[in-house]
């Protein structure tokens, strides 16, 4: 018993000592913060985004409003939901922290958070949102700094003016965006909807998920009742109030531009010499490559062609020579879904992978005339390992066909035979050289695009083909300055020759046959339906899986790509390919309207020959004739010349 008492006394003494040290430390921190430089919460987290013409198109430079000019319903709903002890603590709610740790420990997962409004404001002052210990320590220090230099009302004002309300920052802009009114005029019903968004902006925005938004509203109204801000009757009346959402920003009417903005901010995080906190810059000016007209062209085509409510789309436009990304769409409507399908979604790329396969083939001695037999085939690798690809609609010519035909009709059997002949590692290596960064497995189905790759990753690789074999670094940001216009970063175009220019020219010419209606034969060229729309010359490759449709098309001046599909990977309707191709054609033709048409100059070591597109042999009077290109010395020749078939009969007098 005596020993036990001694142990407890020792534990109590140790605990008291540690507690005293902790108190002294905290007091010291707050004293140090008191004498440190205060943060400017009105300007520290501002950023402005400029397009290619140096015009502002986005930013979080929201309208700052005083706390007295914000609806009391918004203030009370925010405090009741986010931090009910806001006016009692000094930046950290220790009892709430202990409670959340206990709940999360008992349940074995994170169910509760304990961030105060001050801590959340500190987070908003950071450019990055990583979860490293270094970041957490800095965030804690900012929290103390804020609590030391600002009143509670000033902190709350800063929070409400900077928080994310579903792609809209600040309560004033949010009030106009969702309800078309000043934030001081928000009703209880409106305020309780808005107060629920910051917890999970992509899910609780009423434009993205109205059911989830209403469920969140109910929790907020109940919290307001519990904390005696409103009565139960007021809560019930607010919950059943029918609300009309506008979903239009004051500065522009684009519903896709924020996808480009998000991609810019993601790239900004990767620039190492930009301070990780806005605090160190007093805000940023970010100059981008955005071509606003190109962005709106893509958006208008999406609005016109994608009428299926559940179908989603992503698209990108790139200048292939410079690598400048001039437009990007990550979905149909940012307000409904912030998920950026152009930069984040990894999905199979289908036959669009074949462009890199056929470049590899040309590099390894194939020509446009090289043939394989296209027929229903099962590839057997050992007793238990087989692979049975199929052509679209089970269409097989059951004869030897040329590479030209294989590209024109996107023949899968030819592609797999070519892939296996070259060796599966060859395509992996070639795709990596082109610029694909996603992991690729050397498997038979890689030739048919079975690996999952983001659209941006694939588009970046396609610029290597569009840029005559020179790989460029694709990018959004051309320059970053602080608010005093001191340059913090300036992009330098990066390029590296990785492919043979002459072989790329031959491949690009082959890819123009995908819309060549003169080649309609046992099958149709994959893009024959849009041939009449095209007034410029393009290299085009499409790809299809059960759940995705893709298209990449380009010339020297521009590369345009789209991908269509359902987020849940459901099978697509049969007409989706036609929709996508027409959308692509209208986009690129609109962009190039009234512009000079540029195609690639034929290298001196390349020669054009008229061949039979199916067999790949020299054309005669009995076959179709297609001008096709070869490295000099590799072109087909006349094996048996039937003069009667090509020379008129000479009659003697």
> In terms of Cα–Cα distance, which of 552, 510, 480 is closest to 407?
510
Pairing state between β 284-288 and 47-50 = parallel
The H or E element that residue 18 is part of is helix 2-35
CA distance 273 to 276: 9
Cβ of 385: how many Cβ atoms within 10 Å? 9
Alpha helices (H) along 573-650? 576-592, 643-646
Measured at the CA of 503, the angle between CA 501 and CA 505, to 5 degrees, comes to 70
| Token representation of residue 418 | 């070519």
Length of the chain: 653
- Residue at token pair 């690809």: 389
Residue with tokens 């010395």: 633
Query: 542 and 581 in contact (C-beta within 8 Å)?
Result: yes
What DSSP string describes 268-333?
HHT-TTS-SBGGGTTSEEEEE---HHHHHHHHHHHHHH---SSEEEEEEEE-TTT-BEEEEESSS-
- What is the three-class DSSP state of 394? helix
222, 404, 612 from 401: Cα distances, Å: 71, 8, 10
CA distance 379 to 136: 55
- φ, ψ dihedrals at 380, nearest 5°: -110, 120
d(CA 420, CA 443): 9
CB 476 within 8 A of CB 491: no
* 405 flagged as catalytic: no
Q: Max alpha carbon distance in the chain (Å)?
A: 140
Q: Please, are residues 504 and 359 in contact by the beta-carbon 8 Å criterion?
A: yes
Q: Which of 192, 351, 402, 410 is catalytic?
A: 351
| CA distance linking residue 456 with residue 315, whole number of Å | 9
Q: Give the active site residue among 71, 82, 147, 451.
A: 82
Question: Do the beta carbons of residue 329 and residue 575 sit within 8 Å?
Answer: no
Task: Identify the residue whose tokens are 């904390």.
Answer: 227
Cβ–Cβ under 8 Å, residues 322 and 472:
yes
Distance of CA 484 to the CA centre of its chain: 31
Number of C-beta neighbours around residue 128 at 10 A: 13
- Calculate ∠ Cα 548-554-558, nearest 5°: 115
DSSP state of 417: H
Q: Give the E-state strand segments of 85-158 in sequence order.
A: none
Tell me, yes or no, if 115 is annotated catalytic. Answer: no
- Asked whether the beta carbons of 552 and 646 are under 8 A apart, the reply is no
Q: Three-state SS for 370?
A: coil
Phi, psi at residue 400, to the nearest 5°?
-70, 135
First-residue to last-residue Cα distance in the chain:
139
- Helix spans in 163-311 (H): 171-179, 188-194, 201-204, 210-226, 232-240, 257-269, 292-305
Residue the block writes with tokens 């507690």: 19
Helices then strands, counting H and E runs in the chain, come out as: 21, 20
Active site residues: 82, 351
């Amino acid at each position: 018993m005596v020993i036990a008492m001694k142990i407890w006394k020792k534990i109590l003494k140790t605990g008291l000592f540690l507690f005293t040290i902790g108190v002294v430390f905290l007091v010291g921190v707050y004293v140090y913060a008191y004498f440190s430089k205060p943060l400017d919460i009105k300007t520290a987290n501002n950023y402005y985004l400029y397009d290619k013409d140096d015009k502002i198109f986005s930013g979080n430079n929201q309208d700052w409003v005083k706390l007295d000019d914000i609806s009391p319903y918004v203030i009370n709903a925010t405090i009741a939901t986010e931090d009910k002890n806001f006016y009692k603590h000094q930046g950290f709610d220790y009892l709430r922290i202990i409670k959340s740790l206990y709940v999360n420990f008992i349940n074995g997962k994170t169910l509760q958070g304990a961030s105060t409004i001050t801590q959340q404001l500190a987070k908003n002052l950071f450019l990055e949102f990583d979860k490293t210990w270094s970041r957490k320590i800095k965030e804690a220090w900012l929290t103390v700094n804020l609590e030391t230099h600002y009143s509670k009302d000033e902190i709350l004002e800063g929070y409400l003016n900077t928080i994310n309300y579903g792609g809209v920052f600040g309560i004033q802009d949010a009030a106009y965006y969702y309800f078309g009114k000043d934030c001081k005029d928000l009703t209880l019903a409106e305020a309780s909807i808005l107060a629920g968004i910051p917890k999970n902006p992509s899910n609780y925005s009423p434009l993205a998920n109205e059911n989830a938004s209403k469920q969140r509203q109910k929790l907020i109204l109940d919290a307001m009742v519990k904390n005696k801000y409103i009565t139960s009757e007021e809560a019930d009346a607010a919950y059943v109030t029918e609300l009309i959402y506008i979903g239009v920003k004051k500065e522009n009417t684009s519903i896709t531009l924020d996808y480009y903005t998000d991609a810019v901010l993601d790239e900004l995080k990767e620039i190492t010499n930009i301070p990780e906190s806005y605090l160190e810059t007093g805000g940023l000016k970010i100059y981008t490559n955005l071509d606003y007209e190109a962005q709106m062209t893509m958006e208008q085509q999406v609005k016109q062609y994608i009428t299926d409510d559940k179908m989603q789309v992503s698209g990108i436009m790139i200048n292939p020579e410079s690598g400048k990304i001039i437009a990007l769409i990550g979905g149909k409507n940012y307000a409904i879904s912030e998920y950026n399908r152009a930069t984040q979604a990894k999905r199979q790329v289908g036959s669009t992978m074949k462009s890199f396969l056929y470049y590899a083939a040309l590099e390894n001695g194939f020509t446009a005339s090289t043939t394989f037999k296209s027929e229903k085939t099962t590839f057997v690798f050992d007793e238990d390992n087989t692979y049975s690809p199929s052509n679209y609609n089970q269409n097989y010519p059951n004869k030897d066909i040329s590479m030209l035909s294989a590209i024109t009709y996107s023949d899968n059997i030819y592609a797999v035979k070519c892939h296996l002949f070259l060796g599966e590692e060859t395509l992996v290596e070639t795709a990596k050289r082109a610029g694909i960064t996603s992991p690729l497995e050397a498997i038979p189905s890689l030739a048919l695009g079975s690996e999952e790759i983001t659209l941006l990753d694939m588009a970046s690789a396609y610029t290597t083909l569009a840029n005559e074999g020179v790989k460029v670094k694709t990018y959004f940001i051309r320059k970053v300055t602080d608010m005093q216009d001191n340059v913090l970063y300036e992009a330098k175009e990066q390029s590296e020759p990785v492919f043979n220019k002459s072989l790329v020219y031959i491949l690009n010419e082959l890819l123009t046959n995908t819309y060549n209606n003169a080649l309609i034969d046992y099958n149709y060229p994959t893009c024959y339906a849009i041939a009449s729309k095209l007034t410029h010359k393009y290299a085009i490759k499409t790809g299809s899986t059960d759940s995705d449709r893709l298209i990449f098309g380009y010339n020297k001046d521009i590369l345009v790509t789209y991908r269509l599909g359902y987020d849940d990977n459901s099978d697509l309707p049969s007409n989706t390919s036609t929709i996508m191709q027409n959308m692509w054609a209208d986009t690129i033709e609109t962009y190039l309207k009234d512009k000079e048409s540029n195609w690639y100059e034929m290298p001196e070591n390349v020669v054009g020959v008229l061949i039979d597109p199916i067999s790949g042999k020299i054309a005669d009077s009995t076959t179709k004739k297609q001008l096709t290109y070869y490295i000099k010395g590799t072109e087909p020749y006349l094996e048996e010349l039937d003069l009667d078939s090509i020379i008129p009969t000479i009659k003697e007098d």
